[in-house]
C-alpha cells in the first residue's frame, strides 16, 4: 500500500473534464466556417510542407491544456503523500483519538441539532474521510470522563456504531481526565499487536470556559496546559470548536427545603434559586412548582440580566413516604438545567438513635429531643448501649447520638461511615469514658478506599482524600474553673437561633472539663459552631459524605464526672440552653438526610434493603427506560447501588409487582455548567491547533500537523506554470505561423 | 481631382454603382481629371507633318526645334500612323469569381471595371479596342473597333460573362497570338491561377508577334494575406479539392508559397518584356490605372 490518497475523493470525478480541450478541438473542427477558395494549390503546398510541424504543435498544446485541467482537478481533490521528501514509504496508518465533550452545555440547541449531535456528526465526517488502516478511539468528557472505545477500533463501522449509541450525559466535563484517557489510548495503540505510531487527537468541544479555564474537580489550568502539551508531544492535537457564540441561558441553580426534615401535616418551604446567565433581562418568565410530577403552582418572575432571584413555594404533605418536588422554568435553548428536583422522605416522626457509652449518658439528650415521651412529638428516640451499636440497624434512624462512648471498633467505623454515606447525621458527645487516641485512630482520617467498596469515582486517579468521621482531632483534656461558651457572633446555624437571646443561658453555661479539639489544617467544611474557654472549639461540625458530623467537646450528661472531685464535666445538660442546642444540633445533623435521596449527575445512588427483600429491583430512568438493579451483599448487609445516573431527573426504584415501596431519587445537574461563557482560545498551548469546523480543518491542512505532505499546492503551481507555458507556446507558434 | 471623383474611384464606393458603363465612365472621369496627357499613341514612326499642341498630347512628340524657331508648340505627326489597337483579354474562370470577406468586388468585377475603363479611354482617343473572354477556352471575342458605339458591345459582353470553369491560359494565349493579325497592346486581366510555364509560353508567343503585353494580375487581399482566424473549410474553386485547416497556423507558409508564385510570374513576365502589375482588388481604381498607364 502506498502512502498516497486524496482528502476529497469525490472531486476526482472532475477528471473527466480533462477531455474538454480535445472536445473543444473536435468541436472547433466540426463548427468550422466555410469559404470558397481559389488559391487552394498554395494552401495544399503549405500544408504538405508543414503538416508535421502543425500536428506537433497541436498535440503539444492539447497535451498542455489537458494537463492543466488534470492538475487543477487533482489539486482540488487534495492529494497527500507521506514523507514526500524521501522515497515513497509504506503507508503508516493513523490512530485517531476523539475526545468528545459530553458536558451538558453541549446539549445547547438553537436549531434542531444540539452541539453534542453536531460534534458527533463532525467525528463521523472525520472517520468517513479516514483511510484504510486507520484506527479510532473515543473518549467521552464527563464526570467522570470515560473511554468509550479504549482499544483502537480498526473498523470504522464498529466505531460509528459506538458513536451513534452514545447518549449525552448531563454532567460536567473533566477535560484533564479525558486527556489522560486519550494518552492511555495512544499508549494502547503503540503497544498493541499491530502498533500504530502516528496519532491525531481531535478534541470536539464547545470550549465552555468552566471546563477549559476554571478549576474544577481539583484540576487546575496548569494541569490542563501540561496535559495538552504532553499530548501534543505524542500526537497532532486539534481542538474542533463546535460551540455557539453569545449563547444565553437561564437555569434553576438550586432547590432546597428549608426544614431539615419533613413530617406529615407540617408545611414544607421550598426555595429555588433561578439564575439568568445572559446579558438580557428575561421578564415574565414562568416558574412552575410540581410535587410528585403534578403542577401545583405557577408564577411569573422577572429574571434580571446576569442575576439571580429566589422563589419560594410552600407545600404540606399529607402522606408519609417518598415524594419529589420540582421547580421548572420555561424552556430555553439549554433545557437540561431548566428544571431542578428534590426527593424527600416525609416521615410521621423523626427517629433518633441514642448510643450511651455509660448509663445515663443520653438521658438529658433524650429529654431534650422528646420532653414528653407519652405524647407523640415530632421526634422519636431509641436508646441503646454502645455494646449494642454493632448489632443495631442504623438505616431506620435519621440521626445517631453517640454519648460518652469509650471507643469504636473498625467494624463500627465502617458502619458509621456507611451511615454517613447514605446521608445520616452523627453527633458525638464526649465524656469521661472517651479514649481520645482510639477516637482519633479509628474515626480519624483514613483513605476512603481503605474500608469502602468501590466508590464509583473516576477509575483513573482515585482521589486520595482522607475520610474522617470526626470534624477535629481530639486533643488533651482541659480542666479548670468553669469556662463559658462563646457563640462566635452566632454565625453557625446551630447557635444562630440564640442571636438576640443572650438571656437564654447559652453565654452562662459552665463547662469544667472538655477535650481540646484541633481542626486539621485544610479540613474542608469544618466549622466551629461554638467556642469554649480561651477560644477552644466546643462544637465543631463537618459534612461527611452525604451526612453531617457534629462533635461536642464536652459531655451531654451529668454522668461524666471528674474522678478526683466527683464534679460533673459540665452543668450544661441541666442548663436552659441545652434543650435548644440539642434540637438545633439534630436539625443541623439531619439536614444531610435529604442528600440521601438526592445526587448530582454521575454520582451513584444506593440504599440498603431489608434482609429477605427481593434481590432484583427496577430503576425507572428519567427518560422512562428501565434498568434492572441487583441487590448485593456489601458486607454490611444487602444493598443496591446504581451508578447509571448520567441523566438528570427523577429516578424511581421500584420493587417487583405487588410491593408498594417505590423510592424516588432526584438527580440534578451541577449548575456550574449552566454558564455558557466560552473560554479564551489563548488558553490553548501553541502546539494545539484550533479549528472551528472540520471543513476548515481540512482546508487548513491537518496533514501539515501530522507529517503528511499535501500536494495540492505543488499541483496548482504546476498548473499555473503550464498556463504560462500554454500562453508562451501559443504565442510562439502563432508568431512562427504568421 | 475633386474629392467626389476621388472617392468614386474606391472599389467599395464604385461597387454601389450599378452598370459597368457608368462605373467605367466614373473611373475614367476621375482619372482623366488628374491626367495631363493621353497614355496611348500609335506605332508608325515616319514623320508626315506638324500639328499644334493641345493639352493632353504626349510631350515625347513635341518638336523642340520648331519650338526653338517659332516659340510655339507643335507636335510631330507620323506618316501612316494607325490607330492603337488594344486587345483586352479577360479571364472569366471560376477563380475570378472569388471575393474575400473584406472585398467590395470579385476579382472579375474589378477586372471588368478596369477593362471597361481602359476601353473607354482608348475609344475616347479614337483608337480601337477589342475584347476576348476566356477560361479553359476562348468564350467571347469582340473584334477591335474605334467606333465609340463599340463600347456598348464590349460592356455588354463583359456584363453577360459567367465565371464557372477552369483556366487554361497557355493554349488560349497561343491561339489568340495567332488570331491577332495587327500589332497592338495585349492587356491580360487574370489571377493567373494556372500553369505558370504554359502561361509564360503564351506571353512569349504574343511577344513573338510583336504585341506589347501588359499582365494585370488581380488578387483579392484575402488571397494575399490569408487573414482568417478560425478553422475553415476552404472549398476549392475550379474543381480543386476542399481543404479543412487552421489558417492561423498556416499563414506564414501560405504566404511563402504565394510569394514564390508571384515572383515566378513577375520574373517570367519581365523575361518576356511584358509589363506586370499586381493589382489587389481593394486598390482604388485611379491608383490601379495610374500604375498601369505610367509606363506607357
DSSP string across B71-88: SS-EEEEEETPPPPEEEE
What percent of chain A is modeled with pLDDT above 70?
89
Dihedral of alpha carbons A356, A359, A361, A363, sign: positive
Q: Which residue has the higher pLDDT, A316 or A616?
A: A316
pLDDT given at position B9: 55
| Dihedral (Cα; B67, B72, B73, B74), 10-degree rounding | -80
CA B8 to chain centre: 19
User: Closest approach of chain A CAs to the CA of B250, in angstroms?
Assistant: 6
For residue A214, the model assigns a pLDDT of 65
Q: What is the four-CA torsion angle of A523, A524, A525, A531, rounded to 10 degrees?
A: 20
Contact A737 B253 (CB under 8 A): yes
Least confidently predicted of A179-188, A326-335, A607-616: A607-616
Highest mean pLDDT among A49-63, A570-584, B72-86, B179-193: A570-584
Q: Cβ of A31: how many Cβ atoms within 10 Å?
A: 10
- Output A375 or B265, whichever has higher pLDDT: B265
Checking if the pLDDT of A137 tops 80, the result is: yes
Residue B7 confidence (pLDDT): 47
Query: Among A325-339, A438-452, A628-642, which stretch is predicted with the lowest mean pLDDT?
Result: A438-452
Residue B123 — φ and ψ, nearest 5°? -65, -30
Instruction: Tell me the average pLDDT across A86-90.
Output: 46
Q: Cα angle at A684 between A681 and A689, to 5 degrees?
A: 90
pLDDT above 90 as % of chain B? 29
pLDDT of amino acid A278:
85
Q: Which of residues 51-90 of A touch B (CB under 8 A)?
A: 54, 57-58
Q: Is B18 helix (H, G, I), strand (E, B) or coil?
A: coil
* CA A375, chain centre distance (Å): 48
Decide if pLDDT at A450 tops 60. Answer: no
Looking at chain B, which residue has its C-alpha nearest residue A48? B253
* pLDDT score of A428: 96
The half-sphere exposure of A535 on its side-chain side, counting CA atoms within 13 A, is 1
Task: Tell me the pLDDT band of A136, cut-offs 50, 70 and 90.
Answer: very high
**Looking at CA atoms only, how far is residue A240 from chain B in angstroms?**
55
pLDDT confidence tier of residue A352, bands split at 50, 70 and 90: very high
Q: A191 CB near a chain B CB, below 8 Å?
A: no
Contacts of A338 (CB under 8 A, 6+ apart): A250, A251, A252, A328, A329, A330, A331, A332
Whether A264 and A318 have beta carbons less than 8 Å apart is answered as yes
Nearest-angstrom CA–CA distance, A55 and B118: 49
Contacts of B256 in chain A (CB under 8 A): 46
Tell me the shortest Cα–Cα distance from B202 to chain A, in angstroms. 21
A50/B contact by beta carbon, under 8 A: yes
Most confidently modeled of A143-152, A589-598, A695-704, B7-16?
A143-152
Q: Which of B232, B254, B258 sits opposite A35 (nearest CB)?
A: B232
Give B17's pLDDT tier (boundaries 50, 70, 90). Answer: low
pLDDT band at A33 (very low <50, low <70, confident <90, very high): confident
Which residue from B211, B11, B179 is spatially nearest to B108, judged by alpha carbons? B11
Residues of A in contact with B194 (CB under 8 A): none
Which residues make beta-bridge pairs with A401?
A: A354, A427
Q: Which helix (H) or strand (E) holds A24?
A: helix A20-30
β-sheet with A708-710: strand ranges across: A4-6, A79-82, A708-710
Give the DSSP H or E segment for B280: strand B275-280
pLDDT of residue B25: 66
- Mean of the per-residue pLDDT values for chain B? 81
- Contact between A707 and B217 under an 8 Å Cβ cutoff? The reply is no
Count of beta carbons in the 10 Å neighbourhood of residue A148: 18
Our CA-based measurement puts residue B155 at a distance from the nearest CA of chain A, in whole angstroms, of 26
Distance CA B92, CA A572 (A): 148
Q: CA-CA distances (angstroms) from residue B121 to A428, B86, B184, B213?
A: 148, 11, 15, 18
Quick one: cell of B184? 497592338
pLDDT of residue B16: 63
pLDDT at B256 over 50: yes
**Residue length of chain A:** 738
Cross-strand partners of A511: A483, A570
- Phi then psi for A727, rounded to 5 degrees? -60, -45
DSSP code for A509: -
| The pLDDT value given to residue B33 | 53
pLDDT digits (tens, 9 = 90+) for B110-169: 999 889 888 888 888 778 889 999 988 898 899 888 888 888 888 888 888 888 888 888
B interface test, pick of A42, A50, A730, A734 with most B CB neighbours within 10 Å: A42
CA distance B158 to B141: 11
What residues in A contact B264, CB-CB < 8 Å? none
Work out whether strand A79-82 and strand A708-710 pair parallel, antiparallel, or are unpaired. Answer: antiparallel
Q: In A, which residues are within 8 Å of B92 by CB distance?
A: none
- For residue A74, pLDDT over 80 is answered with yes
Test A43 with B235 for CB contact under 8 angstroms: no
Using CA atoms, how far residue B44 sits from A552, A668, B51, B212, in Å, is: 164, 136, 16, 14
CA geometry: angle A692, A336, A111, nearest 5 deg: 45
Instruction: Over range A27-54, report the average pLDDT.
Output: 86
Is A153's pLDDT higher than 60? yes
Rg of chain B over all Cα atoms, to the nearest angstrom: 20
Q: What is the pLDDT of residue A453?
A: 41
Signed CA dihedral, A177, A183, A187, A190: sign only = positive
Residue A445 has pLDDT above 50, yes or no: yes
Has the ipTM of the complex gone over 0.90? no
- Find the largest Cα–Cα distance for chain A: 149
* Stretch A49-63: mean pLDDT: 87
Distance CA A163, CA A158 (A): 9
Contact B249 A47 (CB under 8 A): no
Residue A617 CB coordination number (10 Å): 23
| CA of residue A586 relative to chain centroid, distance | 32
Q: What is the pLDDT of residue B285?
A: 86
Identify the pLDDT of residue A446: 73
Interface test with chain A among B224, B227, B257, by most A beta carbons within 10 Å: B257
pLDDT tens-digit profile of A519-549? 988 888 899 999 998 899 999 999 988 789 9
pLDDT in tens, B34-86: 444 444 554 444 555 677 777 767 777 778 888 888 888 887 765 444 567 88
Give yes or no for a cis peptide into A144 (omega within 30° of 0).
Answer: yes
Q: Whose CA is closest to A98, among A176, A205, A220, A8?
A: A205
Q: How confident is the model at residue B12 (pLDDT cuts 50, 70, 90)?
A: low
Residues A139 and A177 sit within 8 Å (Cβ to Cβ):
no
CA nearest to A47 within chain B: B250
Higher pLDDT, A156 or A81: A156
Arithmetic mean of pLDDT over chain A? 85
Q: How far is B261 from chain A (nearest CA, A)?
A: 9
Nearest to A277 by CA among A311, A242, A253: A253
Are the beta carbons of A723 and A70 closer than 8 angstroms? Answer: no
Cell of residue A506, nine digits: 447559652
Whole-angstrom distance, CA of residue B283 vs CA of residue B105: 11
Chain A interface, best mutation among B246, B260, B262, B264, by max A CB count within 10 A? B246
How far is Cα B69 from Cα B166, in angstroms, rounded to an integer? 61
- Name residue A81's beta-bridge partners: A4, A709
What pTM did the predictor assign? 0.53
> Residue B94: helix, strand or coil by DSSP?
helix
pLDDT for B35: 47
Per-position b or e across A463-490, b if 16+ CB within 10 A of its CB: eeeebbbbbbbbeebbeeeebebbbbeb
| Chain-centroid distance, C-alpha A599 | 12
3-state secondary structure of A608: strand
**CB A325, CB A289: distance < 8 Å:** yes
Cα(A432)–Cα(A437) distance, integer angstroms:
14
Quick check: helix, strand or coil at residue B148? coil
Higher pLDDT, A722 or B6: A722
A85 falls in which pLDDT band (50, 70, 90)? Answer: very low
Residue A219 has what DSSP assignment?
A: B
Indicate the pLDDT class of residue A259, thresholds 50, 70 and 90.
Answer: confident
A37 in B contact zone (CB under 8 Å):
yes
User: What is the per-residue pLDDT across A478-530, written as a single tens digit (0 to 9) for each?
Assistant: 998 889 999 999 999 999 999 998 888 899 999 999 999 999 888 888 999 99
Distance from the Cα of A43 to chain B's closest Cα (Å) equals 6
CA separation for the pair B296, B293 (Å, rounded): 5
Q: Of A540, A526, A537, A557, nearest to A485 (Cα)?
A: A537
Among A24, A40, A52, A729, pick the best mutation site for testing chain B contact (most B Cβ within 10 A): A40
For chain B, the 3-state helix, strand and coil shares in percent, each to the nearest 5, are 45, 20, 35
pLDDT at A169: 87
Amino acid at each position: 500500500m502506498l502512502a498516497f490518497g486524496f482528502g476529497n475523493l469525490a472531486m476526482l470525478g472532475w477528471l473527466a473534464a480533462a477531455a474538454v480541450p480535445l472536445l473543444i478541438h473536435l468541436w472547433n473542427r466540426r463548427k468550422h466556417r466555410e469559404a470558397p477558395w481559389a488559391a487552394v494549390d498554395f494552401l495544399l503546398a503549405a500544408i504538405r510542407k508543414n503538416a508535421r510541424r502543425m500536428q506537433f504543435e497541436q498535440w503539444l498544446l492539447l497535451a498542455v491544456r489537458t494537463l492543466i485541467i488534470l492538475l487543477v482537478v487533482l489539486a482540488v481533490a487534495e492529494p497527500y503523500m507521506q514523507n514526500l521528501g524521501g522515497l515513497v514509504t509504506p503507508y503508516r496508518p493513523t490512530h485517531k483519538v476523539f475526545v468528545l465533550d459530553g458536558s451538558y452545555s453541549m446539549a445547547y440547541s438553537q436549531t434542531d441539532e444540539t452541539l453534542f449531535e453536531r460534534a458527533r456528526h463532525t467525528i463521523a465526517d472525520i472517520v468517513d474521510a479516514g483511510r484504510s488502516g486507520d484506527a479510532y478511539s473515543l473518549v467521552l468528557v464527563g464526570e467522570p470522563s470515560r473511554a468509550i472505545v479504549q482499544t483502537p477500533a480498526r473498523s470504522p463501522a464498529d466505531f460509528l456504531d459506538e458513536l451513534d449509541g452514545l447518549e449525552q450525559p448531563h454532567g460536567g466535563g473533566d477535560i484533564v481526565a479525558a486527556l489522560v484517557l486519550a494518552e492511555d489510548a495512544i499508549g494502547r495503540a503503540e503497544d498493541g499487536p499491530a502498533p500504530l505510531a502516528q496519532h491525531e487527537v481531535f478534541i470536539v468541544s464547545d470550549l465552555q470556559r468552566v471546563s477549559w479555564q476554571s478549576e474544577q474537580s481539583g484540576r487546575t489550568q496548569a494541569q490542563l496546559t501540561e496535559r495538552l502539551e504532553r499530548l501534543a508531544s505524542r500526537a497532532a492535537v486539534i481542538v474542533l470548536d463546535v460551540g455557539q457564540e453569545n449563547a444565553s441561558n437561564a437555569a434553576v441553580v438550586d432547590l432546597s427545603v428549608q426544614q431539615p426534615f419533613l413530617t406529615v401535616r407540617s408545611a414544607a418551604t421550598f426555595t429555588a434559586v433561578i439564575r439568568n446567565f445572559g446579558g438580557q433581562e428575561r421578564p415574565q418568565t414562568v416558574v412552575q412548582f410540581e410535587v410528585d410530577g403534578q403542577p401545583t403552582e405557577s408564577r411569573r418572575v422577572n429574571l434580571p440580566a446576569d442575576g439571580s432571584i429566589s422563589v419560594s413555594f410552600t407545600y404540606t404533605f399529607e402522606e408519609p413516604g417518598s415524594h419529589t418536588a420540582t421547580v421548572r422554568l420555561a424552556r430555553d435553548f439549554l433545557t437540561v438545567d431548566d428544571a431542578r428536583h428534590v426527593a424527600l422522605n416525609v416521615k410521621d416522626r423523626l427517629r433518633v438513635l441514642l448510643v450511651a457509652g455509660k448509663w445515663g449518658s443520653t438521658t438529658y439528650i433524650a429529654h431534650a429531643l422528646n420532653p414528653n415521651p407519652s405524647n407523640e412529638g415530632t421526634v422519636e428516640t431509641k436508646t441503646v448501649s454502645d455494646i449494642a451499636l454493632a448489632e443495631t440497624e442504623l438505616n431506620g434512624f435519621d440521626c445517631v447520638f453517640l454519648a460518652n462512648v469509650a471507643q469504636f471498633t473498625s467494624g463500627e467505623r465502617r458502619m458509621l461511615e456507611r451511615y454517613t454515606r447514605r446521608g445520616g447525621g452523627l453527633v458525638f458527645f464526649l465524656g469521661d469514658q472517651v479514649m481520645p487516641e482510639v477516637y482519633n485512630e479509628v474515626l480519624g482520617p483514613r483513605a476512603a478506599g481503605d474500608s469502602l467498596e468501590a466508590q464509583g469515582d473516576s477509575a483513573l486517579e482515585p482521589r486520595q482524600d482522607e475520610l474522617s468521621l470526626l470534624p477535629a482531632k481530639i486533643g488533651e483534656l482541659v480542666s479548670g474553673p468553669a469556662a463559658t461558651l462563646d457563640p462566635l457572633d452566632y454565625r453557625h446555624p446551630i447557635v444562630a437561633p440564640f442571636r438576640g437571646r443572650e438571656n437564654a443561658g447559652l453565654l452562662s453555661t459552665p463547662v469544667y472539663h472538655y477535650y481540646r479539639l484541633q481542626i486539621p489544617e485544610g479540613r474542608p467544611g469544618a466549622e466551629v459552631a461554638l467556642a469554649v474557654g480561651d477560644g477552644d472549639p466546643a462544637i465543631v461540625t463537618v459534612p461527611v459524605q452525604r451526612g453531617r458530623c457534629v462533635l461536642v467537646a464536652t459531655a451531654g450528661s451529668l454522668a461524666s464526672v471528674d474522678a478526683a472531685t466527683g464534679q460533673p464535666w459540665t452543668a450544661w445538660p441541666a442548663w436552659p440552653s441545652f434543650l435548644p442546642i440539642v434540637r438545633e444540633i439534630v436539625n443541623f445533623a439531619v439536614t444531610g438526610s435529604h442528600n440521601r435521596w438526592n445526587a448530582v449527575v454521575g454520582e451513584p445512588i444506593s440504599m440498603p434493603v431489608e434482609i429477605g427483600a427481593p434481590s432484583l429491583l427496577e430503576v425507572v430512568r428519567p427518560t422512562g427506560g428501565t434498568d434492572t438493579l441487583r441487590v448485593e451483599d456489601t458486607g454490611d448487609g444487602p444493598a443496591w447501588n446504581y451508578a447509571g445516573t448520567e441523566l438528570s431527573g427523577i429516578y424511581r426504584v421500584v420493587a417487583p409487582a405487588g410491593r408498594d415501596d417505590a423510592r424516588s431519587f432526584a438527580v440534578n445537574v451541577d449548575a456550574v455548567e449552566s454558564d455558557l461563557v466560552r473560554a479564551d482560545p489563548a488558553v490553548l498551548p501553541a502546539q494545539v491547533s484550533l479549528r472551528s469546523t472540520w471543513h476548515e480543518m481540512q482546508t487548513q491542512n491537518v496533514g501539515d500537523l501530522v507529517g503528511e505532505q499535501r500536494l495540492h499546492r505543488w499541483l496548482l503551481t504546476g498548473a499555473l506554470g503550464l498556463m504560462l507555458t500554454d500562453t508562451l507556446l501559443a504565442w510562439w507558434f502563432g508568431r512562427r505561423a504568421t | 481631382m475633386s474629392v467626389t471623383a476621388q472617392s468614386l474611384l474606391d472599389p467599395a464606393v464604385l461597387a454601389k454603382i450599378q452598370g459597368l458603363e457608368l462605373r467605367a465612365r466614373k473611373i475614367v472621369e476621375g482619372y482623366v481629371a488628374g491626367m495631363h496627357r493621353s497614355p496611348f499613341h500609335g506605332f508608325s514612326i515616319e514623320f508626315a507633318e506638324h500639328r499644334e499642341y493641345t493639352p493632353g498630347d504626349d510631350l515625347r512628340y513635341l518638336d523642340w526645334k520648331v519650338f526653338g524657331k517659332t516659340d510655339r508648340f507643335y507636335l510631330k505627326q507620323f506618316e501612316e500612323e494607325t490607330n492603337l489597337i488594344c486587345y483586352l483579354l479577360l479571364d472569366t474562370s471560376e477563380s475570378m469569381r472569388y471575393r474575400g470577406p473584406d472585398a467590395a468586388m470579385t476579382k472579375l468585377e474589378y477586372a471588368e471595371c478596369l477593362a471597361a475603363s481602359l476601353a473607354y479611354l482608348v475609344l475616347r482617343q479614337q483608337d480601337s479596342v477589342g475584347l476576348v473572354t476566356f477560361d479553359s477556352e476562348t468564350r467571347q471575342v469582340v473584334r477591335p473597333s474605334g467606333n465609340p458605339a463599340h463600347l456598348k458591345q464590349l460592356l455588354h459582353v463583359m456584363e453577360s460573362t459567367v465565371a464557372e470553369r477552369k483556366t487554361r491560359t497557355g493554349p488560349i494565349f497561343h491561339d489568340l497570338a495567332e488570331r491577332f493579325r495587327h500589332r497592338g497592346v495585349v492587356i491580360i486581366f487574370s489571377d493567373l491561377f494556372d500553369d505558370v510555364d504554359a502561361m509564360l509560353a503564351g506571353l512569349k508567343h504574343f511577344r513573338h508577334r510583336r504585341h506589347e503585353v501588359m499582365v494585370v494580375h488581380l488578387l483579392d487581399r484575402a488571397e494575399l494575406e490569408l487573414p482568417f482566424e478560425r478553422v475553415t473549410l476552404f472549398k476549392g474553386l475550379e474543381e480543386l479539392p476542399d481543404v479543412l485547416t487552421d489558417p492561423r497556423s498556416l499563414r506564414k507558409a501560405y504566404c511563402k508559397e504565394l510569394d514564390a508564385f508571384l515572383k515566378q510570374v513577375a520574373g517570367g513576365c519581365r523575361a518576356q518584356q511584358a509589363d506586370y502589375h499586381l493589382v489587389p482588388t481593394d486598390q482604388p481604381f485611379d491608383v490601379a490605372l495610374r500604375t498601369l498607364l505610367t509606363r506607357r
